[in-house]
Chains A and B, each alone.
Chain A
Amino acid sequence: MNPLIWIIPVLPLLSFVLLLLFGRRLKEASAHVGALLTLGSLVLSIVVLLNQWGGEPVKETLSWLTFGETTLSAGYLVNPLNALMLVIVSLVSFLVQVYSGGYMHDDDRFPIFFAYLGLFTFAMLGLVLSPNLLQLYVFWELVGVGSFLLIGYYFYKREARSAAKKAFIMTRIGDVGLFIGMILLFWQVGSFEFDEIFAAVEAGEISEGWITLTAILIFVGAIGKSGQFPLHTWLPDAMEGPTPVSALIHAATMVAAGVYLVAAMFPLFQASEAALTTVAVVGGFTAIFAATIGLAQADIKRVLAYSTVSQLGYMMLALGSSGYVAGVFHLTTHAFFKALLFLAAGSVIHAVHTQNIHEMGGLWKKMKWTAPLFLIGAMAISGVPGLSGFFSKDEILAATYADGRFGLFWIAVIAAFLTAFYMFRLFFLVFTGESRGIQEKVKESPVSMTFPMIVLGILALIGGLINTPFATYLSDFLAQNEALEIHHHETRWWIPVVATGVSLLGILMAWLVYVKKKVTRFSESAPDLHYILLNKYFIDETYDYSFVKGTRALSYFWYYIDRFVVEGLVGLVTGIVGWFSKIGSRFQNGQVQLYSSVAFAGMAILLLVVAWIGGYLT
């Protein structure tokens, strides 16, 4: 079919190179270059997706390295999941670049920003197209580099610098897991290719224990990238980057890469019950854990960040409960509404120049476009019936229930309630009531910023229709992949009702607390709990005191060992040599008499020795 699939990731790379080379001359036009090239990728991705609809998976590889009987290959693979990811990534990237054209317009390093966006998009598209684990890993790290550059874009801010480092290091911890898992799989199967690995798993060539081990190790990589507990702490800190970056990285692409990885390796996970349970438990715990933290945060982007962590937990929960379709479906809808929320938040920040929600308020009348769009996003994520989040969240709950994980099911329900509550807390605090900060000239953002939000808003509204209980387009589409066994579980009628009930309850609670002020605020009724939540369960502090301080203490220990013991020994040796040479160099003073004295003394010693040995000294 389409021989130009490889063009899709190359276009953003071209944008990166062009902007790096000619960015200074292009100045504001860089946005057009970046956006247009990404638009090209988007169009091609849509073509690929449409072709994939009912078509066969496409895989083309070139041999890259051959050693022994093993050949490493590089190429591209398009199957329904990849095609869907291509569209999501290129769409969100395109919209974010359009949006950034307005948001970043007075930044000094404007072209560089778009160059980084191009690099990141290239890496993400390449990751999605990878036909084997090795190539995936290469792009996986490239995504890490792109996110490092983007999060640290305001590198002159100390927080941004440390956030970038933190993101890089925390995800790197996960990457090590992925790498080990990958190598172990290669050892067991003898190939990095996805299809060969799945065939080996299918044929039972790998023992149960190995499958579980490798699956969990690969999941560790996903934990790092997708910000799951306990490696989630980088994600909220990464909000130090520019807001469009947050929308791109933390809504649709990089964090989704972890979920994508689990989805792409799903046949491996399916073969091990223990691995699935691990995924489900970690996902469920992360979902409720992050949701509770989200209740207390005051920074608009941090609330959204914890919301992202929580929603990613949902996806993991779905995948762990064998709800492949539910996970991918939620990944899709979440990409839309979370990108929308981030962009709307960016629009708000752009207008009021603060991120503290307690300093906002009353923006509904001032921002005619942003406010309704934010409301759509909030309703979608809360699961208000009819919107995209409603359907995907129902899928997840149904999958969890059908898989027999009742404890996790109820956790997910509670998390849904909390999600609705904190999203509407955010909404009410920002957009309703009286203005609490200095907001003299709040203006609506320019068209370049509202347009992407409108597109995403529409998708958030209707995106759920691709997989309703009545029309399972997505499910059928994904089921084309033969490697998967997709469970069709009948939807129980009461699950949507419960889900709707809890989300409406959450919204009502938020309304009562923050608008009507009938119920006392959380921070007043339970100050201790609020304090804990505000400080994110002290996870960062725990890490700081255990790993960071521990490592530092160990480093200092070895530093002093090195400084005094090792270096002392080395210094002793060099000192002795230096001492000898200093003495030697004193003989080298240019005086012929001294030279001849030494030469003569040497000759005398030689004579003496020869005479002594020869027995002449009698």
Chain B
Amino acid sequence: MSSVPLSVYLVLALILFCIGLFGALTKRNAVIVLISIELMLNAVNINLVAFAKYGINPGITGQIFSLFTITVAAAEAAVGLAILIALYRNRKTVNVDEMDIMKH
């Protein structure tokens, strides 16, 4: 029926996840780090939706699950940015590698 197999979606999701991970781990700008994390969440969502269609137990549940994920991701993005702005106000920087007071 469908000519696009599950594994191809999964590999696509994997590639996107890896791109997001690389960005999250190497970029200095905190905004980009947040964006990269969103990308990783998206990759997860693709997986959920793909399994909802081609998984062992296909059904609408997977889609609902990704709906929740999107909601939580939105909340996360909002709170993350709020923290970023508070940080910026105190330290005048958004560079992640300058936020190292945790070592003290």
Interface residues of A (CB under 8 A from B): 588-593, 596-597, 600
Which B74-104 residues sit within 8 Å CB-CB of chain A? 96-97, 99-104
Closest to B104 in A: A590
A593→B102 CA distance, assembly (Å): 12
Residue contact B96 to A590, C-beta cutoff 8 Å = no
CB distance from A588 to the nearest CB of B (A): 6
Partner of A593, one of B25, B101, B104: B25
Residues in A whose Cβ lies below 8 Å from that of B26: 593
Interface residues of B (CB under 8 A from A): 21, 24-26, 33, 96-97, 99-104
A320→B100 CA distance, assembly (Å): 86
CB distance from A284 to the nearest CB of B (A): 81
Contact A593:B97 (CB < 8 A) given known A600-B21, A600-B25: yes
Q: Which of B21, B101, B102, B104 has the most CB of A within 10 A?
A: B102
Residue contact B96 to A591, C-beta cutoff 8 Å = yes
Residues in A whose Cβ lies below 8 Å from that of B102: 590, 592
Residue contact B100 to A590, C-beta cutoff 8 Å = yes
Residues in B whose Cβ lies below 8 Å from that of A592: 96, 99, 102
CB distance from A237 to the nearest CB of B (A): 62
Partner of B103, one of A590, A596, A597, A600: A590
A600→B24 CA distance, assembly (Å): 12
CB distance from B87 to the nearest CB of A (A): 12
Closest to B98 in A: A591
**What does DSSP make chain B's interface, helix, strand, loop or mixed?**
helix
Residue contact B100 to A597, C-beta cutoff 8 Å = no
A597→B104 CA distance, assembly (Å): 20
A597→B24 CA distance, assembly (Å): 9
Q: Which of A592, A593, A596, A597 has the most CB of B within 10 A?
A: A593
Residue contact A589 to B96, C-beta cutoff 8 Å = no
Closest to B26 in A: A593
Residues in B whose Cβ lies below 8 Å from that of A591: 96-97, 99-100
Partner of A597, one of B25, B33, B99, B101: B25
Residues in A whose Cβ lies below 8 Å from that of B33: 593
Residues in A whose Cβ lies below 8 Å from that of B101: 590
Residues in A whose Cβ lies below 8 Å from that of B97: 591, 593
> Which 3 A-B pairs give the minimum distances between C-beta atoms?
A590-B100, A590-B103, A590-B102
A600→B18 CA distance, assembly (Å): 12
A596→B102 CA distance, assembly (Å): 14
A371→B24 CA distance, assembly (Å): 105
A588→B33 CA distance, assembly (Å): 20
Could you give 17 example pairs across A and B, Cβ below 8 Å? A588-B103, A589-B103, A590-B101, A590-B102, A590-B103, A590-B104, A591-B96, A591-B97, A591-B100, A592-B96, A592-B99, A592-B102, A593-B24, A593-B25, A593-B26, A596-B24, A600-B21
A121→B73 CA distance, assembly (Å): 92
Residue contact A593 to B103, C-beta cutoff 8 Å = no
Residues in B whose Cβ lies below 8 Å from that of A590: 99-104
Given contacts A590-B101, A590-B103, 9 further A-B contacts (CB under 8 A): A590-B99, A590-B102, A591-B99, A591-B100, A592-B96, A593-B25, A593-B26, A593-B33, A596-B24
A519→B100 CA distance, assembly (Å): 98
Residues in A whose Cβ lies below 8 Å from that of B103: 588-590
Closest to A595 in B: B102
Closest to B96 in A: A593
Residues in A whose Cβ lies below 8 Å from that of B104: 590
A589→B103 CA distance, assembly (Å): 6
